[in-house]
Amino acid sequence: MSVLKEKKILLGITAGIAAYKTASLVRLFIKLGAEVKVIMTPASKDFITPLTLSTLSKNPVHSTFYKKEAENEMWNNHVDLGLWADYMVIAPATANTLSKMANGTCDNLLLATYLSSKCPVYFAPAMDLDMYLHPSTKESLEKLQNFGNNLIPATSGELASGLVGEGRMAEPQDIVSFIENDILSKLPLKGKKVLITAGPTYEAIDPVRFIGNHSSGKMGFAIANAAANLGAEVYLISGPSNQQIKHSLVHRIDVVSAEEMYTAAHTYFKDVDIAVLSAAVADYKPQNIASQKIKKTAASLDILLTPTKDILASLGKIKKHQFLVGFALETNNELENAKGKLKRKNLDAIVLNSLQDKGAGFATDTNKITIIDKELNEKPFDLKSKEEVAVDIMNEIVKRIS
């Protein structure tokens, strides 16, 4: 999954021949799961039609401050557009527009939105060779970067004039890759490795029966996704679960039993920086597993259980640099039990959720948590979707390891 998934991208198009490439650029952003809105300078419509871009983006294209043909002359609010965007991309950025951006000129909707935006801004210059090399253009490029804008460098190649040289707008795929890599490089967990355990474990009674629990894995999968969105390389060790995850930074390792999860966790733990053990691991397993299906021949059946290995405690004993987080699902004396688990298992933090709280626990789409750190500081959170809870958990971890 791309870091641009579910991001809001405002694409500004100016009047250069490279504007024809923006149809492909919009399409690429949409394929990666982004939402795209387009602002065009009036002159850019000579190079590509608003109809094409609105069809591809599935949003109206904006060009003027108000729609003259509309009965009520509807106002296009540049401030709202600027605040809507997670990222603004100006491509192609002509010499004319670069100069106006650098000097605060505000004579069209695109420039007004640029000056109002609060989000990161990327710009991809496109112009002829001599224009690109002109001192005024170089000055504009330097000023814009000093303002904090991100330059997507022009490339060399055949230009519209027939000349060959620098000034050609980067190709749409290269623009997308540049933005993705730039975002990743600035994420707080870039270069970090994170281990997540998720889901239940199944402990076999015979070839067809097992001891398990109601864990769906939703919380652990959401945490894995949140960690990857912060730039981490994630190793997700999952018990049996129907949950799916598609993210280029998440490596899924499927296991069934507590013993298999123990082995996998110890295999990856030594190389990670953070470990969040959210799996609902069975505390006990049958001492003897029948090789054949047990037949119903008696009024009752006694199964002797033996403890499984405590994965969390075992990692707490060997941790060195790792930030280790456990989960506590409690039904009574919640805070007391969670704090006891935190200390006994040598954790850096524990995430408490209580089955007494409506909307928390197994097989729900929501959760209500309290995070307790090793200094026993408590931070409660309201009931939220598990995706939002996962973001809260990872943000709290980032604060503590920074």
- Please give, one letter per residue, the 3-state secondary structure of 245-275: CCCCCEEEEECCCHHHHHHHHHHHHCCCCEE
Which superfamily does CATH assign the domain made up of 193-401 to? Answer: CoaB-like (3.40.50.10300)
Mean per-residue pLDDT, 138-144? 97
Q: Over the stretch 144-185, which tens digit does the pLDDT of each residue have?
A: 999 999 999 999 887 777 767 788 899 999 999 999 999 988
This prediction's pTM = 0.78
Round to whole Å and give the CA distance between 116 and 6.
22
pLDDT value at residue 311: 97
Please count the other Cβ atoms lying within 10 Å of the Cβ belonging to residue 343.
12
Largest CA distance in the chain: 93
Mean per-residue pLDDT, 203-226? 93
Architecture (CATH level 2) of domain 8-185: 3-Layer(aba) Sandwich (3.40)
96 carries an active-site annotation: no
CB 194 within 8 A of CB 188: no
Round to whole Å and give the CA distance between 210 and 204.
4
Round to whole Å and give the CA distance between 192 and 272.
7
Mean per-residue pLDDT, 257-271? 97
Place of tokens 């190793």: 235
Round to whole Å and give the CA distance between 371 and 379.
5
Could you check whether 8-185 and 193-401 share the same CATH topology?
yes
Helices in 104-232 by DSSP H: which ranges? 109-116, 129-133, 135-146, 172-185, 218-229
In the chain, what are the domain boundaries?
8-185, 193-401
Structure tokens that stand for 47 in this block: 């190079």
Least confident among 17-31, 176-190, 293-307: 293-307
pLDDT at 204 over 70: yes
CB 190 within 8 A of CB 184: yes
Q: Over the stretch 83-103, which tens digit does the pLDDT of each residue have?
A: 899 999 999 999 999 999 999
Place of tokens 């579910």: 6
**Across-strand partners of 371?**
351, 379
Residue type, 69: E
pLDDT at 35 over 60: yes
Residue 307: cis peptide before it, omega within 30 degrees of 0? no
Q: Helices 172-185 and 22-31 sit at what angle, rounded to 10 degrees?
A: 50
pLDDT value at residue 128: 87
Closest CA to 366 of 219, 226, 200: 219
Beta strands 193-198 and 203-204 are unpaired
Round to whole Å and give the CA distance between 316 and 347.
6
CB 9 within 8 A of CB 91: no
- Please give, one letter per residue, the 3-state secondary structure of 322-383: CEEEEEEEECCCHHHHHHHHHHHCCCCEEEEEECCCCCCCCCCCEECEEEEECCCCEEECCC
Least confident among 69-78, 226-235, 341-350: 69-78
Among 59, 76, 213, 346, which one carries the catalytic annotation?
Answer: 213
Considering only residues 268 and 297, tell me which one the structure prediction assigns the higher pLDDT: 268
Q: Is 306 exposed, middle or buried (0-12, 13-18, 19+ CB in 10 A)?
A: exposed
Average model confidence (pLDDT) across the chain: 91
